Structure 1
Amino acid sequence: MDNQAFEMHGESIPSSSKTAEWPKKEERKSSCSLMKIFLVCLLACVITTAIGVLVLSLIYTESIGFIQRTVVKNDDTTSQAPVEKEVDIKFRFLNQLGKSKVHRFPGGDIQWARFRNDVNEYESVEEMEFGKSINNFRSKMTFGTLRIKSNGLRVPHWHFNANEHGYLLKGTAWVGVVDADDSVVTTYNVTAGQVIFFPRNTLHWIKNIGKEECLFLLFFTTHEELKTLDVDDAFFSTPEDIAARALKPQGGVNFIRTFKKQTEDQAINLPPNLQELVQNASYVQSPDNLVWRYFYDLKGSSEYPFPGGIFQWARYRINGTGLNETEKIFSESLNKHENTLTLATLRIFSNGLGQPHFHFNANEMGYVISGCGKVGVIASDVTTNFNIDIGDVIFFPVGSQHYIKSVCDEDLFLILAYSTGNQLETLRMNDYFHATADHILAQIFFKEQNEFKKIPKASKKSGK
């Protein structure tokens, strides 16, 4: 029986087997070509990825490292600021102010230990570490030095976001404060060792009326970038017709147009033709009941001795304890305004010690006026010890235990500020050891209970 289907199938087999050999060779060649293309693409991807990672690494390294900048020196030469990667933890609590930028004006200069929004405004990674630290701890504190030449003027201005507390280290100045009630202007004279106070958003000025320069040590109650407006800047930012209508001068707008705007910032002003501009000046002292709201004679105040040295205070005291009538006015003024500071001078005798202690209700910031010392800080996550010298700024976060020791032949002398307008609350190591039961101490330190009777109580309080 003929089977056509089988015959057709049988005939097709040899035909297909003969034609199948050539495509297999082509497939092998095609597969090889595809493999080569795949490998080339893979290699290109690897190279591209490596380059991308390298570029991102460089960008990241640049962003986390301090930005290298060209520094112009006084001799007109240039150098590159070093790129630092790691910073000693002590600079969270130490600012070597003498190394910071000096902002010069016709009438004086200013230096800062403060937080900056723009990292390019820091002079070094150490300075940036301090700025970040006072900001991270929400310290409500910033420090600066203000030098005013003889006859120079810190122009009338106000601060949007901070009270200002100052200590006059040298010189003689005349200060003016315009109160919220525009009919009350308080003016007073300040000499070395005295304190000035300007509440936030209060217009004030400082005029050097002596023959030597004035040096003010200033504390501001903000850990953010300080915001200030000078009167001349406010004036020239006001439309002429608006200024004329507000001031109502003779000559109207034409008179307003005669005001001259300086090309440079005049924050501390001293025109070369000052004698031509000013023929008569009087430096009036307002009544005590006005002056002492913004002034305190720290140098002439009571001394509070302790075994290692002496404190003097410009502070609030509950019920005015230990204060005379004028000091009570200042004390109440501090407590009345929000976020004010307590100021103090601390003198530690040669080789004396301000023993370990901490503050319940305040951060602390200080400036070394004379002498040299050693400081120790124990914060929640770090412990550090470092030396301090003239011109250094120190910072102790609230609750951190710290000590200050004089290590020179001369006394160590500092101006200190505490971020509270209330009565300062402090606990010293000697006090908390005696306040802790002996059997608790014995269990903590693996020492017999009666051994702790060898620790004497402090004979005098520091008043701190």
Structure 2
Amino acid sequence: MKFNRISRGVGLFPILLAGTIAAPTKRDSNPPLRGSEALVGYSTTEKIASGTQPDIKYSLLPGQTENPDIGSYLDFEKVDNPQPIRGSTGSDDPGPRNYWYDRINSDKLAPPGTDNGQTINAQWPMGLSHNRRLGIDGAGWARQENTVVMPDAVDMAGVDMRLEPGGYRELHWHVAGEWSLVLNGSCRIQAVNPDGQTFVDDLTAGDVWFFPPGVPHSIQALSDGVEFLLVFDQGDFNEDNTFLATEVFLHTPKSVLSKNLGVPVSAFDNIPDDELYIFEGTPAPEDIEEQNVTTQSGVVPRTQSYSYHFSEQPAHEVAGGSVKIVDPLTFPIASNFSAAIVTVHPGGMREIHWHPTSDEWTFFIQGQGRATLFTAPDAATTFDYRAGDVGYFPQSNSHYIENTGDEDLMFVEVLQASQFTDMALGQWLASTPKQIVADTLNLSDSTLSQLKTEKQYVVAGSTSSSD
């Protein structure tokens, strides 16, 4: 079905087609910067020409003609001129606007009828984060998300970092705790704890590490390079404020360094004259034993290991995908970090849930999806997410994450909690006396009998919008 609608009124310029602006008429002389006072207020000479309204050509998707409260996902990716219309609500938009952005954010352009009011902004694309720098000799890069770009994400912040083969994230420490998930490639991590015990381990895609506040450590990419996600337990964390070994040496008198380390002042003649941050270094030896430093204090006990080989943990399969959890019950050193990697098959969704004790910081690893954030008493906003986006859902605010693409959707949920827990809407209703639910929501016995008393985590669904 095609619609031709005429805008109410004329824009700044005559519009020939959607997104096209008529070229200005060439003038014989250059007008002054400012017009005359006669242009102020009522005009006795200017006439509004008839028939100059833009003729906006567009087609509506099937979901745009149904009841807005159904809220079917609208795939605008291949729509030339998507419009902010659902059912009888909304109107056409002659522009100017960013058509590319509208195509990948249909729930912002034409939100479901169930959206209401204003929640926090629960979305930030890492693709909009400034790339801190490429590192020395092109050794890598880093992008971050914090309260500067997501003011309400107060409990956690994130960094997406890449190291080329052999590249280092130089020796450093943080005021915040650092939880990490390796996204691709492999790396070697090294640290020393306050007792002087040493640690070194090799990690690959899917593995996790955690360094407590103040514990100095380094990261070096192995032969295939590495990209990893860092999550910090401070929403205002700034990667620029990291304590770097180079900066410690640059800003401590050399006489003091000499006295402290028991070496001559001349030993520091060739220290870098600026921070290294990310840089190329000597490739790590293949045999990790060559980098095991033995001290009187020994090595970090296995029960307090800074790494967890999450990649080797099988996923728990459910109807619509899979889930696997790592939290302090299995990874004790990360005392307040709990996380789940969730895979949602096409048409499925992470069930409606909320976390009673923590905000949820989410990073989208693969695919595309959408989520509706509900905030009491009546605010709801739907967001579209792509790989590389950050989502943030405050404590006890309900939400779901639906796969809106044709490939598996994968994301990681990170909590500030001693155990990964959530409350599932379906389980709550199924575990409540039926009469109470029926009296409250006016649901039929047939509907209530289909509810499940066990958490689903991920529910299966059809990829057809009509089902």
Indicate the TM-score class for this superposition, using the shorter chain for normalisation. Answer: 0.5 to 0.7
Q: 1:403 to 1:436 in 2, by over 3 A?
A: same
Equivalent in 361, 368, 371 of residue 365 of structure 1? 361
- After TM superposition, give the deviation of residue 459 of structure 1 in Å: 5.8
User: What CA distance in whole angstroms lies between the structure 1 residues aligned with 2:443 and 2:222?
Assistant: 63
User: What CA distance in whole angstroms lies between the structure 1 residues aligned with 2:304 and 2:438?
Assistant: 51
**Secondary structure, aligned partner of 2:288:** coil
Among all aligned residue pairs of Structure 1 and Structure 2, give the percentage whose two residues are the same amino acid.
21
Equivalent in 228, 232, 244 of residue 220 of structure 1? 232
Counterparts of 1:53-452 in structure 2 under 5 Å?
Answer: 92-104=121-133, 105-106=135-136, 107-116=139-148, 128=149, 130=150, 132-135=151-154, 140-160=155-175, 162-182=176-196, 184-210=197-223, 212-226=224-238, 227-249=241-263, 252-262=264-274, 265-270=275-280, 283-284=288-289, 289-290=301-302, 293-317=305-329, 328=330, 330=331, 332-335=332-335, 340-380=336-376, 382-420=379-417, 422-447=418-443, 450-452=445-447
Q: 1:454 to 1:435 in 2, by over 3 A?
A: closer
Q: 1:91 to 1:151 in 2, by over 3 A?
A: farther
- After TM superposition, give the deviation of residue 293 of structure 1 in Å: 1.6
Contact 2:180 2:210 in 1 (8 A): yes
Contact 2:350 2:458 in 1 (8 A): no
Worse-matched range after superposition: 407-416 or 221-230? 221-230
**Secondary structure, aligned partner of 1:112:** strand
> Per-residue displacement from partner, 1:53-87 (whole Å, max 9, x unpaired)?
xxxxxxxxxxxxxxxxxxxxxxxxxxxxx9xxxxx
Q: 1:302 to 1:414 in 2, by over 3 A?
A: same
User: What CA distance in whole angstroms lies between the structure 1 residues aligned with 2:284 and 2:361?
Assistant: 42
Counterparts of 1:9-20 in structure 2 under 5 Å?
Answer: none
**Secondary structure, aligned partner of 1:92:** coil
Q: 1:307 to 1:387 in 2, by over 3 A?
A: same
Unaligned runs of at least 5 residues, structure 2: 1-97, 99-107, 109-117, 293-298, 460-467
Contact 2:429 2:451 in 1 (8 A): no
Unaligned runs of at least 5 residues, structure 1: 1-81, 83-87, 117-127, 318-327
Please give the TM-score of this superposition, normalised by the length of structure 1.
0.66
User: What CA distance in whole angstroms lies between the structure 1 residues aligned with 2:164 and 2:376?
Assistant: 43
**Secondary structure, aligned partner of 1:234:** helix
Contact 1:362 1:424 in 2 (8 A): no
Task: Give the aligned residue type for 2:178.
Answer: E
User: What CA distance in whole angstroms lies between the structure 2 residues aligned with 1:311 and 1:195?
Assistant: 16
> Per-residue displacement from partner, 1:285-323 (whole Å, max 9, x unpaired)?
767844862111112113222222111122133xxxxxx
**Secondary structure, aligned partner of 1:103:** coil
- After TM superposition, give the deviation of residue 462 of structure 1 in Å: 3.5
**Secondary structure, aligned partner of 1:115:** coil
User: What CA distance in whole angstroms lies between the structure 1 residues aligned with 2:287 and 2:259?
Assistant: 29
> Per-residue displacement from partner, 1:86-129 (whole Å, max 9, x unpaired)?
xx75771000111210111222111011123xxxxxxxxxxx3x
Contact 2:328 2:337 in 1 (8 A): no
Contact 1:305 1:462 in 2 (8 A): no
Task: Give the aligned residue type for 1:417.
Answer: V
- After TM superposition, give the deviation of residue 439 of structure 1 in Å: 2.3
- After TM superposition, give the deviation of residue 390 of structure 1 in Å: 1.1
Task: Give the aligned residue type for 1:296.
Answer: Y
**Secondary structure, aligned partner of 1:345:** strand
Contact 2:365 2:410 in 1 (8 A): yes
> Per-residue displacement from partner, 1:226-254 (whole Å, max 9, x unpaired)?
342001101111111100001112xx112
**Secondary structure, aligned partner of 1:350:** coil
User: What CA distance in whole angstroms lies between the structure 2 residues aligned with 1:459 and 1:291?
Assistant: 32
- After TM superposition, give the deviation of residue 196 of structure 1 in Å: 1.0
> Per-residue displacement from partner, 1:140-184 (whole Å, max 9, x unpaired)?
211110101111100011111x110111111121110110012x1
Contact 1:304 1:462 in 2 (8 A): no
Contact 1:354 1:404 in 2 (8 A): yes
User: What CA distance in whole angstroms lies between the structure 1 residues aligned with 2:413 and 2:229?
Assistant: 10
User: What CA distance in whole angstroms lies between the structure 1 residues aligned with 2:285 and 2:428?
Assistant: 60
User: What CA distance in whole angstroms lies between the structure 2 residues aligned with 1:402 and 1:445?
Assistant: 19
User: What CA distance in whole angstroms lies between the structure 1 residues aligned with 2:213 and 2:458?
Assistant: 28
**Secondary structure, aligned partner of 1:222:** coil
Q: How many residues align?
A: 331
Contact 1:309 1:348 in 2 (8 A): yes
Q: 1:279 to 1:97 in 2, by over 3 A?
A: closer
